[in-house]
Structure 1
Amino acid sequence: MEQSSDEEIWRRVLDGDARAFALIWDRHRDRVFRALISLRSEPTDAEDLSAMTFLELWRRRRQVRFVDASLLPWLLVTAHNVHRNAARARRRHRALLSRVPAAEHAPDPADLVADGTPLTRAVREVLDAARPDDRVLLALTVLDGLTVREAALALGIGESAAKMRLSRLRRRISDVAEPVKTAESAPILEGEIT
């Protein structure tokens, strides 16, 4: 079967034999790839362009031309055309982008909320000052939904130690959060009413 000419194999492709197309692929893919590399395609681009070349082979399966019963010349010409079309598309794309006016810099919405509220900043300060293991313990229980027992096992500490650490951390957070909450909810002084 390997000794068959491309023309003979191609007749089987036209009769619906998918394995016959695979034979053509196996027989010529490396040569098509090398041709595209020689045209200064990057290897990843050459892989894509090779696939596009064989897609063209499939799309034009009833119009391909054989040279001495071989598809290789047709594939190589098609690979050159595919490469040229891709290069032209890249040039057009770059030209279009060069004509598009640069956008004004808009502030990143994340920057607008990065500092957060006074309460958020206060809680962050407590968490930044906490031991890394305590922050992980808090994250495992509050964010990841583990029980205190599961989190303690994961960290290799006792459950009672984990409860004590969480209690201290919550107390520190509460100590800084209460004054901030109180200040935020304080009524407006009469002298400030306009």
Structure 2
Amino acid sequence: MATKPVIIGVAGGTGSGKTTVAKEIFYQFNEQSIVLIEQDAYYKNQSHLAFEERLKTNYDHPLAFDNDLLLQHLQMLSEGKGIEKPIYDYKEHTRSNAVVVIDPKDVIIVEGILILEDERLRDMMDIKLFVDTDADIRIIRRLVRDIQDRGRSIESVIEQYTSVVRPMHLQFIEPTKRYADIVVPEGGQNRVAIDLMVTKIRAIIEEKAIL
């Protein structure tokens, strides 16, 4: 890979469908040319804190993320160097000792709730998407996910949503919509938006191949 990769940011609130959009775009391409990096992998290492302290972490706040490391990794990939992407252990509430080795690709999709909040990250992106889905749909999706996949009670999910997730969304996530080049309504259900993105990315890759 001789030329700088295309970096695409996909942001949106919890349950908006941003992960679905990112994966739908990802699956349209040969894995040799595209990679998906989740901002969730870059939650800060908390191994220096007692477990009780880790439980207090607000995962919906910008300070929860190690954006310095994410920026460093995107820069390395842009320079044609491989990275070791961290893995976050949600049971231990800190970074795992394991990593995922990622090689440079033509296209990098960076997906997460707050990837448009940091100006340094925005400046690295060629295309910025914000997946915009109604709050009632997002809370229903979060309820189903957290109860089925994470064994949470309805009460605990609702309490966390009203006390942390919703205020953080309004304060930090929703305002980043103004930085997006494209706002995608209704997330993964929006086939037109996804197809348009895929067509645009293909054109960029073909253009790079010619250069």
Q: What TM-score results when the alignment is normalised by the length of structure 2?
A: 0.21
Q: Which has more radius of gyration?
A: 1
Q: What TM-score results when the alignment is normalised by the length of structure 1?
A: 0.23
More helix by share: 1
